[in-house]
Amino acid sequence: MSDQRIERGLRELYDQDPERADWLVFGRIPEADRRGFLKGAGLAAMVAAVGAAIPFARNMPSGLIPAALADTHAGFTLYGKEGLIVRNDRPVNLETPPHLLDPDVTPIANFFVRNNGGVPDEASDRDAWKLTIDGEVERPLELTLAELKAGFEPVTLQLQLECGGNGRAGFNPSPRGNQWVIGAVGNGEWTGCRLADVLGRAGVKPSAVYTGHYGADPHLSGEAGRPSISRGVPIAKAMDPHSLIVWGMNGEPLPLIHGGPLRVVAPGWPGSCSQKWLTRIWVRDREHDGPGMTGMSYRVPRHPVAPGAEVPPEDMVVMESMPVKSVITAPETMARVAAAAPFEVRGHAWAGDRAVRALHVSIDFGATWMAVPITEPVNRYAWQHWRILVTLPTVGYYEIWARATDDAGVMQPHVVPGWNPRGYGNNAMHRIAVTAT
């Protein structure tokens, strides 16, 4: 399959929106000082890019491409991210290569980025950020971030977050959308409060069925007030004690690119349920119907369909729990190892609302399988980790395959599972190439 990622060179980025280009390439520009990025981390990023100190940096106008970079056609790298694959830049979507997923908790620098619209400006006062809870509640609330921090029990949990389209690149015919391979997933350590506690303070009415989430991300059309995406979850999922409203990630304030200062994390379900830049939770008496909830969006066929089939909207159902899955994080694909000598193979596994109960590895294209010990999660919805020593018997080319099985007995398939119009839920086994020498 051809590489369908979309990259823009520096010239195109700067031609279309020079201030946004400054932010994408070198870091956020403070609203009050458009050249403020040249005084701190942004300047450091520019110095690294050109390979030398910039004595007259204070004189550089915002939106000027350094001449050392002006003629390059390389795609941009998002400030604060390392080693990620650009899948789209309007909106910004970045994938994590499997080997960068190796740590038990995914570093912020390596955590995938999935956006549906633009990125809002950084809040000038994070603690003043406001969240509204309304709809089918007894007591509508308007809470600042400071009030959330002070008024509710703080919780820190490791929770996996995965885009519903992770694995889309494997489908044939190829559905439209970001061509994620396997790295639109991460396991973060999130700090916030339970969504259930906030809803409890508001008093959820018996008529409540679903939540509708809204964020501050601007629509790509530029139309004011038009949501980029607004999804939600059934009340039962919202009341799960692992569904959080979060303001921290990996021990730091929630980064802007990951939804800061406030977002939902509804683990085990498509990441689109975990609204970024959260401003409102509308409690509904019916399934939510915001952008991203209707038509083909985050929906799969009710029944198996042929590849490429046209599926009537009434035969589509909303995605909920993500399927069982695993990833090989070491060695990196295309590694060279010594023949007849043991080396470690390791990775992670997860299973949406379920737990992983077995993990197997094959080095002979699935003819035989080795059982691999797998850890219990540190809390529900956290990644489970596995490792095994493997010996390749002779020199030559090998593939290492990994296969997880969940606690309901559902096993990852060898091939891409049932086709769907938007390419959701591909949980085919991960495999890497290794050469023994």
pLDDT in tens, the chain (437 residues): 333 334 444 555 555 666 666 666 555 444 444 344 444 555 565 665 555 556 556 666 555 555 555 444 444 567 688 889 888 877 889 999 999 999 999 999 999 999 999 999 999 999 999 999 999 999 999 999 999 999 999 999 999 999 999 999 999 998 989 999 999 999 999 999 999 999 999 999 999 999 999 999 999 888 999 999 999 999 999 999 999 999 999 999 999 999 999 999 999 999 999 999 999 999 999 999 999 999 999 999 999 999 999 999 999 999 999 999 999 999 999 999 999 999 999 999 999 999 999 999 999 999 999 999 999 999 999 999 999 999 999 999 999 999 999 999 999 999 999 999 999 999 999 999 999 99
User: 24 lies in a domain?
Assistant: yes
Instruction: Please check whether residues 310 and 365 belong to one and the same domain.
Output: no
Q: How far apart are CA 145 and CA 275, in angstroms?
A: 16
Residue 232: per-residue pLDDT:
98
**Domain range for 35:** 1-79
Residue 74: per-residue pLDDT:
47
Instruction: Please check whether residues 341 and 312 belong to one and the same domain.
Output: no
Instruction: Please check whether residues 330 and 358 belong to one and the same domain.
Output: yes
Residue 89: per-residue pLDDT:
76
User: 163 lies in a domain?
Assistant: yes
Q: How far apart are CA 107 and CA 61, in angstroms?
A: 33
Residues 181-229: pLDDT tens digits?
999 999 999 999 999 999 999 999 999 999 999 999 999 888 999 999 9
User: 413 lies in a domain?
Assistant: yes
Instruction: Please check whether residues 255 and 349 belong to one and the same domain.
Output: no
User: 108 lies in a domain?
Assistant: no
Segment holding 280, helix H or strand E: strand 278-284
Instruction: Please check whether residues 305 and 353 belong to one and the same domain.
Output: no
Residues 99-109: pLDDT tens digits?
999 999 999 99
| DSSP, res 270 | B
Instruction: Please check whether residues 41 and 150 belong to one and the same domain.
Output: no
Instruction: Please check whether residues 42 and 24 belong to one and the same domain.
Output: yes
Residue 70: per-residue pLDDT:
47
CATH number of the domain that residue 348 is part of: 2.60.40.650
User: 179 lies in a domain?
Assistant: yes
Q: How far apart are CA 197 and CA 387, in angstroms?
A: 38
**Domain stop point among 318, 334, 359:** 318
Instruction: Please check whether residues 170 and 314 belong to one and the same domain.
Output: yes
3-state secondary structure of 42: helix
Instruction: Please check whether residues 253 and 332 belong to one and the same domain.
Output: no
User: 17 lies in a domain?
Assistant: yes
389 CB-near residues (< 8 Å, 6+ apart): 342, 343, 344, 345
User: 300 lies in a domain?
Assistant: yes
Q: Note whether 430 and 326 are within 8 A (CB).
A: yes
Q: What's the total number of domains in the chain? A: 3
Instruction: Please check whether residues 308 and 362 belong to one and the same domain.
Output: no
Angle subtended at Cα 14 by Cα 13 and Cα 16, rounded to the nearest 5 degrees: 70
**Domain stop point among 318, 335, 361:** 318
> Which tokens go with 167?
């694995």
Q: How far apart are CA 279 and CA 45, in angstroms?
A: 32
**Domain stop point among 318, 333, 358:** 318
CATH number of the domain that residue 264 is part of: 3.90.420.10
Instruction: Please check whether residues 290 and 405 belong to one and the same domain.
Output: no
Residue 6: per-residue pLDDT:
41
Beta strands in 313-383 (DSSP E): 316-318, 325-330, 335-337, 343-350, 356-362, 370-372
User: 111 lies in a domain?
Assistant: no
| Among the listed residues 130, 154, 147, 141, the one whose alpha carbon sits nearest the alpha carbon of residue 262 | 130
Instruction: Please check whether residues 431 and 383 belong to one and the same domain.
Output: yes
